[in-house]
Every structure is written in C-alpha cells, then in structure tokens.
C-alpha cells in the first residue's frame, strides 16, 4: 500500500526549477488564508487561478508570511505538462501546504526557469527562454470573499527583452537593484524599477549560474566556472575565489555571521561529495571547508538571520546546517523523489521551502535547537550515581560504627 505524502509536502503537477517565499509586504494586512481546495473545483488546467479565503489563523503573521511562489514546467515539448508560475499557502499551525495551488498563471510554451521575488512586494520576475517578465499579485473582492491571484504586469521590461535565457536573478535587500546572469555569460545589474543599467559585462563568465548581493548591497558575487566578487559601485572585479583540488562551485551566498561580520559561502561538488566553503568577506580568503554530505549538492541557501544553511541533494534529501558549528542540525531523508532544485528560508527563518523536478514542494519547519545545558538523561544518570553513593556510604558507616549492648 502506497504511503500518502505528509501534509507539508504536495505535488502540483509542475516540475519545479525555482521557489521562494513571498515577503510580508507582498500581502495587505487584511489578506486571509485560503479555504480548503475541497471547497472549490479543480483549477490545475486554468491559466489564471484565484482561491477563496476564510478567516485568518491565530498566528498574526501567518497570513502575511507563509505564501510560497514556485515556477517551472515541461518546456516546449508536447509532454502535456504545463509551464506555470503558482502560489501555495502554508499553514504553520497545522504544518500543512494547500492541497492545490491557490493561484496559478500559465505561461504557454515558455518555461519560467528562474525567479526573483522583490523584497518589498513589487512583483515576481521570471526568466523565460528569451526574455524576463514581471508578475504581480492580484487581490480582488468577489461576493464578499478575498481572492488572491497572479497577473502579468503591464510594465514591459524593455532592457530584458530578447536577452536570451537568464540562469540567475537576484534583487538586493532594499529592492533597489536587480542582477541578471545569462546563459551566454552576460552579467547585468540594473537600478529598480527604472532598469537603468549600472553594470554590463558581456563576458563575465562562460555562463552565469548563480548570483547574490551582499547585505549592504556593496558587493555582488557571480558564479559560472570561476566565482567572482564585484564592487557594484565601481563595476569592477574585487577578487576571484580560488578552487582547490576537484572542487566545482555550484552556488554562492553572502550572509552575516553571529559576530556581525559578513561572510561568503560557496557550495561545491567534489569527488567525496558536497562541501560548503566559508570565505572571509574582507580579505576574501578561505576560512574553512566542511564536507556536509556524501551526495552531490544541487541547491543551497542561507537563512535571513545567518544562523542556518540549507542543502538539497541529488537523492532528494534536505539538510539544515548550523552555521556556527557547521554540523547538520536537521535532515529530511527523501524529502523529494527527484533531486532538489530550489531552497528558500522564510523571512523569519522558521521554515524552509524546497522544490524538486518531481513536481513536489515541501516546507520543513525548523526545529528549535536544544538549549545548552545537561540533557534529561545526563541529569538522571547523575542522580542515580548520587543515590548509589548515598547508600554505599550508609553501608560503610554501619560497618564502622561500634555496636553497644544494653544489660537489662
């Protein structure tokens, strides 16, 4: 008998290449979570889907924070698999994803391959085979119910038309800059929303695979063969990170360490498995390298608070790593049947969304790390030793005390 998927994992019929949480500011304070999909008909084939909503959950931020956007599809082939951008809702209290997408926008024969969500809620950019398109959240009142949907923005991204497939998209934390990396190796940085270009490097890499801005927006790291760090203001290369042995970098992310200093992480595939390399973001020197898994890493990300890292593997496993100790804090074996294509921490670092080519999306709630101190078993062990010592000492005292006889 086939085991049903857990409530925090759903298959939506679309092979996923990208996934991300919507920020708090993407939804108005009156936005309410969706009803069960059993309350309305199947919407999987509609080009534009909206979902009914009901009263908000008790957690005040749940309706604002726990919406996931995901994108993917079957490409141009005649497989019958649609290409789409969709939204799903995660109920943190019940730890369950919506049975069906609560909103879905079909993109025809164009596969949305990469995605970037604007941090202030100014839409979702998707990379299509030839151009990039901007999608907006569509909220309407219908018969007294709130409905959440997706619509193609009327704003034409003229600077991103006919530029070819972009393999990497990233906003800076303020949402004032957008970086794009093309399959052709062209690296661009634009002001947002004017799209005035401030960096244009046609031969930055043979093919740009990944991008990330530093927290202050001063630096941009790009990956495509070599991993390079750029000064955004001067549009110049600061450094190229050196690989060792058989390392192949597959992802790069800036983060803030617990001590407040900025660090840079690169995830790498080696002959021994998947590793994470830590770099000093001042000297750009390698600080440490840690083998995390025997399987190859296919997706990587860091939490907003900098305390956690996440890896997805070729085996469909999802690993959560403590950034201080670099030890695996939580692991979900076979979180997906296919390899993991995307990982995204929620803004409050309480949950991790993952997606896969097997058409599944999953949310892993981050378990609280056990507080420092003695565990219950250690305390019990110490108490047992103390009790045993007490009785042993008592027996010794009995043997040592003289006996007195009393005459009648």
- What pLDDT, in 10s, does the model give residues 207-235? 999 999 999 999 999 999 899 999 999 99
Give 263-306 pLDDT, tens digit per residue: 999 999 999 999 999 999 999 999 999 999 999 999 999 999 99
Average pLDDT, the chain: 86
Q: Any idea how long the chain is? A: 408
**Rounded distance between C-alpha atoms, residue 318 and residue 264, angstroms:** 21
Give 56-86 pLDDT, tens digit per residue: 333 334 444 589 999 999 987 666 889 999 9
- In this prediction, residue 259 carries a pLDDT of 83
Opening angle at CA 156, ends 155 and 161, nearest 5: 155
Provide the Cα torsion 394, 397, 398, 401; round to 10°. Answer: -160
* Confidence tier at 39 by pLDDT (50, 70, 90): very low
- Contact 51/147 with Cβ under 8 angstroms? yes
Q: Look at 114-123, 156-165, 383-392 and tell me which has the smallest mean pLDDT.
A: 383-392
Strand 84-91 to strand 187-191: parallel, antiparallel, or no bridges (unpaired)?
unpaired
133: tokens are: 């398109």
Residue 319's SS3 state is strand
What is the largest distance, in Å, between two alpha-carbon atoms of the chain? 117
Nearest to 200 by CA among 185, 213, 212, 221: 185
Residue 144's SS3 state is coil
Integer angstrom CA distances of residue 150 from 35, 172, 355: 17, 23, 20
- Contact 23/347 with Cβ under 8 angstroms? yes
Residue 388's SS3 state is helix
**Taking the model in full, what pTM does it have?**
0.82
């Amino acid at each position: 008998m086939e085991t049903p998927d857990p409530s925090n994992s759903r298959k939506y019929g679309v092979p996923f290449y990208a996934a991300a949480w919507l920020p708090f500011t993407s939804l108005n304070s009156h936005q309410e979570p969706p009803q069960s999909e059993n309350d309305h008909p199947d919407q999987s084939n509609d080009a534009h889907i909206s979902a009914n909503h009901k009263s908000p959950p008790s957690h005040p931020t749940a309706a604002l924070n726990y919406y996931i956007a995901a994108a993917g599809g079957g490409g141009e082939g005649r497989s019958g698999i649609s290409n789409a951008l969709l939204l799903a809702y995660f109920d943190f209290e019940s730890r369950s994803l919506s049975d069906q997408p609560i909103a879905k926008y079909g993109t025809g024969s164009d596969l949305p391959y990469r995605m970037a969500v604007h941090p202030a809620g100014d839409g979702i950019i998707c990379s299509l085979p030839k151009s990039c398109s901007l999608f907006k959240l569509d909220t309407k009142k219908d018969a007294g119910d709130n409905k959440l949907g997706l619509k193609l923005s009327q704003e034409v991204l003229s600077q991103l038309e006919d530029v070819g497939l972009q393999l990497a998209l990233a906003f800076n934390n303020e949402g004032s800059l957008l970086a794009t990396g093309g399959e052709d190796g062209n690296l661009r940085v634009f002001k947002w929303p004017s799209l005035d270009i401030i960096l244009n490097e046609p031969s930055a890499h043979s093919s740009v695979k990944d991008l990330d801005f530093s927290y202050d927006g001063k630096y941009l790291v790009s990956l495509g063969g070599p991993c390079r760090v750029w000064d955004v203001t001067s549009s110049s290369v600061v450094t190229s990170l050196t690989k060792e042995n058989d390392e192949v970098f597959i992802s790069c992310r800036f983060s803030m360490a617990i001590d407040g200093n900025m660090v840079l992480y690169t995830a790498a595939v080696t002959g021994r498995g998947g590793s994470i390399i830590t770099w000093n973001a001042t000297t750009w020197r390698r600080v440490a390298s840690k083998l995390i898994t025997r399987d190859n890493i296919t997706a990587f990300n860091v939490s907003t608070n900098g305390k956690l890292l996440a890896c997805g593997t070729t085996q469909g496993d999802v690993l959560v790593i403590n950034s201080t100790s670099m030890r695996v804090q939580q692991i979900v074996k076979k979180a997906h049947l296919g390899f993991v294509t995307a990982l995204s921490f929620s803004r409050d670092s309480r949950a991790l969304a993952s997606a896969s080519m097997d058409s599944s999306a999953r949310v892993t709630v981050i378990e609280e790390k056990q507080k420092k101190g003695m565990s219950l078993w250690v305390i019990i062990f110490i108490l047992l030793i103390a009790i045993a010592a007490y009785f042993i000492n008592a027996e010794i005292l009995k043997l040592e005390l003289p006996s007195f006889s009393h005459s009648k």
